[in-house]
Structure 1
Amino acid sequence: MAAGDFEARMTGYLNGAAACLALSIGRETGLLKVFMEPHEPMTIPEIASKTNLKERYIKELLGCLVTSNIIEVDEASVKYFVPDEIRSTLDSTLNSIELFDYGLARKEDLKSCFAIDGPNGFAGQTKPGYGELLKKFRCTNIDNLIEEEFFKHTPDIKTKLESGIDFVEFGCGLGPVIIELASRYPNSRFIASDYSPEAVAYVTKAIEEKGLKNIKAQKADLYQLPDEWVGKFDVVYIRDTLHDLGQPLKGATEMVKVLKEGGVMIIIEIVLKGDNHRENKEDPGAPLLFILSASICVPESLCQEGGIGLGCTSGLKSLKNIIYQSGIPAANIETHELATLSCKFVCRK
């Protein structure tokens, strides 16, 4: 690459970082909230009145967002707006910005892990707000999520949920998905499981507040699940969690054990298509995933005893190797690409 081309690329990265910082500030101050609802083009005084923010700072932040081609301004450079057709994309981007902010907040923790005599890693739950962040990031559209992850490739699950089955989610976090399923399918029985006592307590409270009788939250060790669970569940579900496990193969094997004969295990995972850095060079989503993996996923895995540090960038081949060794015959495993950087494994016992 010529020096001039490299300089242009680096300038682009710096400007992109500036835009991300502006989006982060705009999200946290509430400035961007007025743009996320249907609106007519607004002047800076109008925006200031709606947000109760200072005009001078609004002007400068809008300058960054307009010159980054994120927010539009009219020909007179007086009124600002976000076109209807890009508003939903901007909204989902803000969720990613919030996740990036979390990674940035762990910068000092991550730096200490690099040191030879530093800690192996750290758990996400040690930072306040982590569970809420994941809930928001994972469930921007719960209806679409349920359709894509449960019914699109496995329509039999919907019929079974309506009739009544045993369903468990591992790594449920604050439980948005399984609580929603329990509310929709009262004939089925659900267990929301997580290693975090705080998460389990949160889910228990949420269940009580909703008055649901067909679901309970339970702390469980995914490396040694209760004997009474062996062969119990019709559906086992785990989302964006397998790569965070210190010993993912052991966890996957335990999940297969608690699955009934004829049951279905659904694994949703973040996936880079390439299996090494060279193969991922042209993937536009790779840089963000690598830094999030370094600051969230790898430390989560390595802080566990015997953790291998798989992370969310290990590639499809590595994930398949783990899942294929879990006890499900290879012929009974389907792989489906979902949204960008997301993959669904359907494993029938």
Structure 2
Amino acid sequence: MNAEEYKTKLSDYFYGSCAGISVALAKQTGLLDVFYATNSPLTISEIAERNNSKDRYIKELLGSLVSAGVVEISDDSTQFHVPEEHKKHLQEYSVLCAFPTAFAERFNALTECFKKDGPYGINYSQSTSVCKLIGENKNCEGIIENQLLPAVPGLKEKLDSGIDVLELGCNTGLVLIGLATRFPKSRFLGGDVVETSIETGRDMASSLNLKNIEFEVLDIMDLPTDFSDKYDWCFVQDVIHDLPKPDKGLSELYRCLKRGQVFSMIECTVPGSMAQHANNLHACYYYTASTFMCLPSSFQQADSAAAGAMWGADNVRKALYKAGFKIINETVSESDEFITHFVCQK
């Protein structure tokens, strides 16, 4: 890469970040919801009225979105719309575009963590907006249909008949609520260390009148003694690499599972070395998310594992074997090659 190409790349990152933060603001203010709710082009005044917003701010933000090609505009610059075929992708990526705003909340605290005499890490409970975005970013139906049910032999039939299920690090429990809704004969417990996430999960379950699901504040590395040999299926999603002591968390999960039953671990498994991912923006996202979120969570003290999201498939396998699990199969996500579902047995 010559100097001019390098300059262009950095310029693209800067301008792209401007577009991304504008999409995040449009999501947060409800502007995008106005476009999702109509197939017809709208004027600035119509958009502002439907969104209960000031015309002037709507106009300026639309300028950014139009310039970035996110929103389309009429030739006379009076009407705006998002084509129907674009809306699904805008809904997905508007959540992702909001992640830098959550990263920014941690920016100063993370800066201190870099210092030799600074703190080691940051708890998720210190910036709950990160947890909210992680929950929003989960395609619950896709996870259930494409990652969980097909990969575990006989799981759907067991859930239909009624089993005890435990998810730890469940955040707001969106995936667990999806399962509880679909399989009313099974019993579900979701646990997380962030109390506000658990409260949100309880509220959502209550609003749906679900009687087969509960949420508790639980520490995966120190679970109640009466959880031993209690559950027919346990699962975690992007959790183990966040733990200061992954081995302890996996040992606790092993203890909770009934003999012969299955544990599902959906985990980041970016293949290869850092050099192999040079100029790969997909890998850049994972390294960035790990720097701001995963590493600070997993690096709480000097003897922490400090795994982070990029710890790699080989280390995942070693940790599972060390805890006593037998890996039955591994399934790489169809939508993200950096995510693998490890199906294990006690």
1:278 aligns with 2:309: no
CA distance 1:201–1:88, shift in 2 (3 Å): closer
By how many angstroms is 1:266 displaced?
A: 0.7
User: Match for residue 93 of structure 1?
Assistant: 93
CA distance 1:280–1:323, shift in 2 (3 Å): farther
TM-score normalised by length of structure 2:
0.89
1:20 aligns with 2:17: no
8 Å contact from structure 2 (residues 39, 83) kept in 1: no
By how many angstroms is 1:74 displaced?
A: 3.0
Whole-angstrom distance in 2 between the partners of 1:203 and 1:16: 34
Whole-angstrom distance in 2 between the partners of 1:312 and 1:24: 24
Two-structure CA RMSD over aligned residues (Å)? 2.4
User: Match for residue 301 of structure 1?
Assistant: 298
Whole-angstrom distance in 2 between the partners of 1:43 and 1:219: 47
Q: Report how many aligned residue pairs link the two structures.
A: 345
8 Å contact from structure 1 (residues 193, 218) kept in 2: yes
Question: Could you tell which deviates more after superposition, 193-202 or 144-153?
Answer: 193-202
List aligned pairs for 1:1-349, cutoff 5 A: 1-138=1-138, 140=139, 142-204=140-202, 207=205, 210-274=208-272, 276-303=273-300, 306-330=303-327, 332-340=328-336, 341-349=338-346
CA distance 1:41–1:296, shift in 2 (3 Å): same
By how many angstroms is 1:293 displaced?
A: 1.3
8 Å contact from structure 1 (residues 186, 214) kept in 2: yes
Q: Give 1:184's aligned amino acid.
A: R
By how many angstroms is 1:120 displaced?
A: 0.6
By how many angstroms is 1:119 displaced?
A: 0.7
By how many angstroms is 1:338 displaced?
A: 3.9
Cα deviations by residue, 1:82-127 (Å, 9 ceiling, x for unpaired): 1211211111111112222111111111111111111111111122
By how many angstroms is 1:205 displaced?
A: 5.5
Whole-angstrom distance in 2 between the partners of 1:231 and 1:262: 10
By how many angstroms is 1:188 displaced?
A: 2.0
CA distance 1:193–1:134, shift in 2 (3 Å): same
Q: Secondary structure at the match of 1:177?
A: helix
Cα deviations by residue, 1:28-47 (Å, 9 ceiling, x for unpaired): 22222222233212233333
Q: Secondary structure at the match of 1:172?
A: coil
CA distance 1:212–1:47, shift in 2 (3 Å): closer
CA distance 1:191–1:31, shift in 2 (3 Å): closer
Whole-angstrom distance in 2 between the partners of 1:208 and 1:49: 33
Q: Give 1:239's aligned amino acid.
A: Q
Q: Give 1:32's aligned amino acid.
A: L
By how many angstroms is 1:300 displaced?
A: 1.0
Whole-angstrom distance in 1 between the partners of 2:184 and 2:309: 34
Q: Give 1:237's aligned amino acid.
A: F
Question: Could you tell which deviates more after superposition, 258-267 or 148-157?
Answer: 148-157
Q: Secondary structure at the match of 2:160?
A: helix
Whole-angstrom distance in 1 between the partners of 2:211 and 2:31: 41
Q: Give 2:37's aligned amino acid.
A: E
Q: Give 2:335's aligned amino acid.
A: A
Whole-angstrom distance in 2 between the partners of 1:186 and 1:304: 42
CA distance 1:152–1:125, shift in 2 (3 Å): same
